[in-house]
Amino acid sequence: MMQLALYCKSYCTDLRRVVRLAESIHRFNEENLPFYVSVPQYDMALFREHLDSLNVLLMADEDILHASPRINHGQLAGMPGSVSQQVVKSEFWRMGLSEAYVCLDSDAMFIRPFGLADFMTQNGTPYTMMDEAHDLLDDATRHKRDRVVDAFNNEADLVQQLFGRHGRRYSFGPLPVVWHRAVWESLDKLYLLPKGMNLVDAIVQAPIESRWYGEALLAYQAVPLLPCQALFKVYHYAWQFDRDQRLGITEGKLAKQYCGVIYQSAWERNLDWPKEGGDWLSRLGRRLRRRMGKI
């Protein structure tokens, strides 16, 4: 079993983003860490066509879910895609391909050479993304985005209460993050199984997979905790990216601190496949809201 793999869960709308991610991995992956992409079975042919030359290991989401012994597939089928994908990402460890994996979103891309040491120690202990999200919350406060602060606090409180943990609110994301199979296994055996739950039940209760992982790590200590700051520069909102552009902060400058960058697909809609969604009026509205700093 490999020490570490790269993994991305995607679907057809994000095809162009995954190609961009795969191209960046092909360019900067100095140690040839394996890169897996999973998509729904009906998207396999499309992704195979576009990723064929980029050394991507393609698999179906359904194969991951079938490796999970207690998943209720009917319950999963009724969930929104934005929620059900969290189950797929979190169950990738069951494929037995690596001890740990860097879980990437489609809108990520690497901007400098990277290797094992960026994600874990020589003895295989992963670096865990864990902080109090001050950068995001400070930005939100300055821009009067109270809903961002409220959402962070409510999400943190919800999962902490489920584990009975009191104290500071932590963020265990955003993706990409390094997840170790032992942590997911401890969540399954020590929390979900005794309660008669599976991961679908957990995600329905609190749809924030990174918090389930992080709180399970704090509760059961399946691996040593080695906290780290964000691996990638994440532009949660277009106004953050536009501000950095005005300040002259380039990818070259970001590479001194980060392995890569994320341009959130929620506002970078021009990369949607096969074309940007919505009619001309909705597309115009998005551009106006971006210009006004609303997204």
Domain membership of residue 137 (yes or no) is no
pLDDT at 18: 97
pLDDT at 99: 98
Helices (H) and strands (E) in the chain, counts: 13, 10
Domain membership of residue 178 (yes or no) is yes
Q: How many residues does the chain have?
A: 295
Domain membership of residue 150 (yes or no) is no
Owning domain of residue 64 = 2-129+170-291
- Using a 10 angstrom Cβ sphere, with 0-12 exposed, 13-18 middle and 19 or more buried, the burial of residue 229 is exposed
**Structure tokens belonging to residue 52:** 């064929």
pLDDT digit string, tens, across residues 169-221: 999 988 899 999 999 999 999 999 999 999 999 999 999 999 999 999 999 99
The torsion of the CA quartet 133, 139, 144, 146, rounded to 10 degrees, works out to -10
Domain membership of residue 31 (yes or no) is yes
Contact 5, 97 (CB under 8 A): yes
pLDDT at 280: 45
The torsion of the CA quartet 62, 67, 72, 78, rounded to 10 degrees, works out to -20
Query: Residue 276: which residues within 8 A CB-CB, separation 6 or more?
Result: 269, 270, 283
Nearest to 105 by CA among 126, 117, 89: 89
Domain membership of residue 62 (yes or no) is yes
DSSP codes joined into one string, 207-267: --HHHHHHHHHHHH-SS---EE--SEEEE-SHHHHHHHHHTT--HHHHTTT-SEEEE-TTT
pLDDT at 213: 98
Total count of domains within the chain:
1
Domain membership of residue 145 (yes or no) is no
Q: Is the peptide bond before 176 cis (omega within 30 degrees of 0)?
A: yes
Pair type for strands 108-110 and 260-263: antiparallel
Nearest to 33 by CA among 64, 5, 10: 5
Domain membership of residue 21 (yes or no) is yes
Nearest to 195 by CA among 164, 234, 150, 169: 164
pLDDT at 291: 57
- Rg (the chain; Cα; Å): 19
Half-sphere exposure of 142 (CA within 13 A, CB side): 10
pLDDT digit string, tens, across residues 148-170: 888 888 999 999 999 999 999 99
- The CATH number for 78's domain is 3.90.550
pLDDT at 279: 55
Domain membership of residue 32 (yes or no) is yes
Regions of the chain where pLDDT drops below 70:
265-269, 275-295
Spatial separation of the C-alpha atoms in residues 267 and 264, rounded to whole Å: 6
Across the chain, the runs of DSSP E, i.e. the strands, are 2-9, 35-39, 57-60, 98-104, 108-110, 128-129, 177-180, 227-228, 232-235, 260-263
